[in-house]
């Protein structure tokens, strides 16, 4: 069943045809009349406003909510405090990643799950069966993401909450331009950013109000092509594109932080995922490609005549003036400073393994 953002008319006015690939059954504004690279500059130097309402949001509440979610993910949900959130790995019985998921805790017995296009709905329904828990997909919620160094300055005069008090991956109830919202600090750009969770009925008003409030500072609406450029610069994973093997483990994509090794409670795939630690077949890495454009995802990587990896996602960053590639390399080949050859449809290009993220390597802009 197709979903639609209430902001579609705004996206059409900005030049989006909304006729490209959908995500989570929602048409996406992949491009506007403006240049996506200029939208990246706005995000990095001022602020850009994104509609990320295509995320799947599930409300989970009731006395058994914590226990059910704790069985779903690899982090210890019992440690999560109200008003905070964590990214978690979600694996199957074989210990392979099956979805990316953000666990957001609003109260002792009330959670929101933000997830991609993986197994969460089916698995969550199975875990909730017969338990004292309510699981409801939220088809009304809209999420406006203001990303960039001026985001707080633009929002604060119109928000009842003190944004400076919201830590990274934390959120709070607030009003914004007089509308009841939840404001969370986070995003998908590698910048300081805030996500405004609102009702569909308020989304167009808030979209217009945020852009009007930031117009003098150069805040602009930004497309998903710009979001993709920023997330690659920040080396942020996107399920399933960074997991092309189909049975990728968290350790193979450097998601050690998403598995609590000391978690006492049981969860799906616990024994398998813990046993797979130290047995990585591939490792997620970043490469700078000596080329004036992006190579394509799926391009093989060679060391002489032997294939040693594959490109998972790539882009050309006009901001960094570099062709960037997120890749999977055989574990022995994932060494900073090594050079390999990417065999793209446009030709063979030398590429160097480098630390990630490509932009803001210490993640100071997001974490403060």
| Domain membership flag for residue 102 | yes
| Domain membership flag for residue 244 | no
What's the pLDDT band for 347 if we cut at 50, 70, 90? very high
pLDDT recorded at residue 60? 98
Query: Same domain, yes or no, for 48 and 72?
Result: no
What number is the average pLDDT over the span 307-311? 98
pLDDT recorded at residue 117? 86
Query: Same domain, yes or no, for 273 and 289?
Result: no
Token digits of residue 114 = 């933000």
Per the CB < 8 A criterion, the answer to whether 313 and 326 are in contact is: yes
Query: Same domain, yes or no, for 70 and 90?
Result: yes
| Domain membership flag for residue 3 | no
| Domain membership flag for residue 312 | yes
Q: Residue 88 CB: number of other CB atoms within 10 A?
A: 28
Number of folded domains that form the chain = 3
Pairing type for strands 26-27 and 22-23 reads antiparallel
Q: Is the pLDDT of residue 297 over 80?
A: yes
CATH number at residue 26: 3.30.1360.120
| Domain membership flag for residue 262 | yes
Adjacent-strand bridge partners of 306: 303
Q: Residue 170 CB: number of other CB atoms within 10 A?
A: 17
Query: Same domain, yes or no, for 259 and 332?
Result: no
Per the CB < 8 A criterion, the answer to whether 213 and 243 are in contact is: no
Q: How far apart are CA 313 and CA 241, in angstroms?
A: 7
What number is the average pLDDT over the span 149-168? 98
> In a 3-state reduction of DSSP, which class is residue 120?
helix
CATH number at residue 346: 2.40.30.110
Q: How far apart are CA 237 and CA 312, in angstroms?
A: 10
Query: Same domain, yes or no, for 290 and 334?
Result: yes
Task: Give tens-digit pLDDT for 24-51.
Answer: 999 999 999 999 999 999 999 999 999 9
CATH number at residue 62: 3.30.70.1400
Q: What is the mean pLDDT of the chain?
A: 97
pLDDT recorded at residue 103? 98
What number is the average pLDDT over the span 224-237? 98
What's the pLDDT band for 264 if we cut at 50, 70, 90? very high
| Domain membership flag for residue 130 | no
Name the helix (H) or strand (E) containing 225: helix 224-233
> In a 3-state reduction of DSSP, which class is residue 115?
strand
Q: Is the pLDDT of residue 1 over 90?
A: no
Per the CB < 8 A criterion, the answer to whether 29 and 23 are in contact is: no
Per the CB < 8 A criterion, the answer to whether 232 and 313 are in contact is: yes
Query: Same domain, yes or no, for 87 and 205?
Result: no
Percent share of the chain, pLDDT over 90: 97
Task: Give tens-digit pLDDT for 71-125.
Answer: 999 999 999 999 999 999 999 999 999 998 999 999 999 999 999 889 999 999 9
Q: How far apart are CA 197 and CA 253, in angstroms?
A: 29
What's the pLDDT band for 288 if we cut at 50, 70, 90? very high
Per the CB < 8 A criterion, the answer to whether 351 and 290 are in contact is: yes
| Domain membership flag for residue 292 | yes
Query: Same domain, yes or no, for 288 and 344?
Result: yes
Query: Same domain, yes or no, for 326 and 356?
Result: yes
| Domain membership flag for residue 1 | no
Query: Same domain, yes or no, for 39 and 62?
Result: no
What's the pLDDT band for 20 if we cut at 50, 70, 90? confident
pLDDT recorded at residue 140? 97
Domain end position, chosen among 167, 200, 233: 233
Per the CB < 8 A criterion, the answer to whether 314 and 242 are in contact is: no
Q: How far apart are CA 214 and CA 218, in angstroms?
A: 6
Name the helix (H) or strand (E) containing 32: none
Percent share of the chain, pLDDT over 70: 100
Q: Is the pLDDT of residue 368 over 80?
A: no
What number is the average pLDDT over the span 244-257? 97
pLDDT recorded at residue 100? 87
Query: Same domain, yes or no, for 293 and 267?
Result: no
What's the pLDDT band for 21 if we cut at 50, 70, 90? confident
Query: Same domain, yes or no, for 301 and 343?
Result: yes
Query: Same domain, yes or no, for 149 and 45?
Result: yes
pLDDT recorded at residue 150? 98
Task: Give tens-digit pLDDT for 357-367.
Answer: 999 999 999 98
Domain end position, chosen among 233, 261, 296: 233
Taking the chain, what is the end-to-end CA distance rounded to the nearest angstrom?
40
**Domain span at residue 41?**
8-53+141-233
Q: How far apart are CA 138 and CA 61, in angstroms?
A: 13
């Amino acid at each position: 069943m197709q979903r639609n953002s209430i902001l579609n008319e705004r996206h059409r006015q900005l030049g989006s045809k909304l006729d490209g690939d959908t995500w989570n059954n929602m048409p996406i504004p992949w491009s506007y009349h403006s240049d996506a690279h200029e939208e990246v500059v706005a995000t990095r130097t001022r602020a850009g406003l994104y509609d990320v309402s295509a995320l799947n949001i599930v409300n989970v509440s009731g006395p058994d909510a914590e226990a059910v979610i704790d069985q779903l993910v690899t982090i210890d949900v019992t440690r999560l405090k109200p008003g905070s959130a964590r990214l978690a790995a979600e694996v199957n019985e074989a210990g392979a990643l099956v979805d990316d998921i953000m666990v957001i805790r609003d109260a002792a017995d009330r959670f929101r799950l933000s997830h991609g296009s993986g197994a969460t709905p089916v698995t969550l329904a199975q875990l909730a069966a017969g338990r004292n828990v309510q699981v409801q997909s939220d088809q009304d919620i809209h999420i406006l993401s203001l990303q960039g160094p001026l985001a707080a300055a633009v929002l604060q005069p119109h928000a009842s909450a003190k944004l400076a008090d919201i830590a990274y991956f934390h959120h709070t109830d607030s009003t914004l331009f007089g509308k009841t919202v939840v404001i969370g600090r986070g995003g998908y750009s590698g910048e300081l950013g805030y996500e405004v969770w609102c009702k569909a009925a308020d989304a167009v008003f808030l979209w217009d109000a945020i852009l009007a409030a930031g117009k003098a500072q150069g805040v602009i609406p930004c497309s998903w092509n710009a979001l993709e450029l920023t997330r690659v610069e920040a080396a942020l994973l996107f399920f399933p594109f960074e997991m092309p093997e189909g049975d990728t483990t968290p350790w193979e994509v450097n998601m050690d932080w998403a598995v609590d090794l000391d978690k006492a409670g049981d969860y799906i795939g616990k024994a398998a995922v813990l046993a797979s630690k130290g047995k990585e077949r591939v490792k997620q890495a970043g490469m700078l490609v000596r080329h004036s454009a992006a190579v394509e995802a799926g391009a093989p990587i060679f060391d002489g005549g032997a294939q040693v990896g594959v490109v998972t996602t790539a882009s050309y960053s006009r901001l960094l003036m570099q062709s960037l590639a997120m890749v999977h390399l055989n574990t022995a080949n994932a060494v900073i400073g090594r050079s390999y050859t990417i065999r793209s449809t446009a030709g063979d290009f030398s590429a160097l393994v480098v630390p990630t993220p490509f932009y803001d390597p210490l993640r100071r802009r997001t974490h403060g």
